[in-house]
Amino acid sequence: MRHTRAAIAFSICVTVLSACGSGSQERRPTDVPSWTPPRPTGSPVAGPVTGSAPYWCDLVSRRALTRMSGASAHLSELRDSAASKDSTTCGVRDKERYGPLIVQWDVTGGRAEIAEWMKDVASEHPAALPAQLGTGFIGYSLRESKLPYFTASTFGCGTRDPWIEIFVRGFSQGRDTTKDLTDLMRFAQRRFGALHHCTPGPHVGF
């Protein structure tokens, strides 16, 4: 189906984070007519998603992950051995079988990456991200019960053509998952801009 970057991410899930389905099946929302996330479960955790340090996987605030998911204990970060300052696939694991977070990003190829993914999920009508966050969406996969929530975006950042994809295991009670995933991408892009010395924004003419 899709290309090497996604395959690498889910290979890491299987072999290191134990967060994917069997074999090399890729995580994509299928058989979902529109994105209607289930009611979050777990203990309520109040407070907005923020972009404050320290971070998981370079881009996601540790405080934000705890507020969204309730995950706070026994967390550790694992990265693909090929990760670099320009391209990373990274996950967070805990004592549960499936870790709460996977992040992958690259400084190039964003428009092609997201255009291909948008074709894959067009029939499921994922929710679009705000235009100021570039071209992207948020979604929920009923088929994938391990890390079913996701957000993905390509955006301009100087002369770069970056993309970010984030997968989340679950949310705590009372959370607005649409807002949380949108804010998660917003702060991830800001952090990307700080790391790569550019200002994130929409691609012109995309």
What span, in angstroms and rounded, lies between the C-alpha atoms of 96 and 119? 33
Pick the range with the lowest mean pLDDT from 20-24, 99-103, 106-110, 142-146: 20-24
pLDDT in tens, 27-41: 333 333 344 555 555
What span, in angstroms and rounded, lies between the C-alpha atoms of 110 and 200? 13
pLDDT of residue 103: 96
pLDDT in tens, 33-92: 344 555 555 555 678 889 999 999 999 999 999 999 988 889 999 998 888 888 999 999
pLDDT of residue 187: 97
Give the residues across from 168 on adjacent strands.
Answer: 101, 149
Domains of the chain, earliest start first: 4-22+44-201 (3.40.1000)
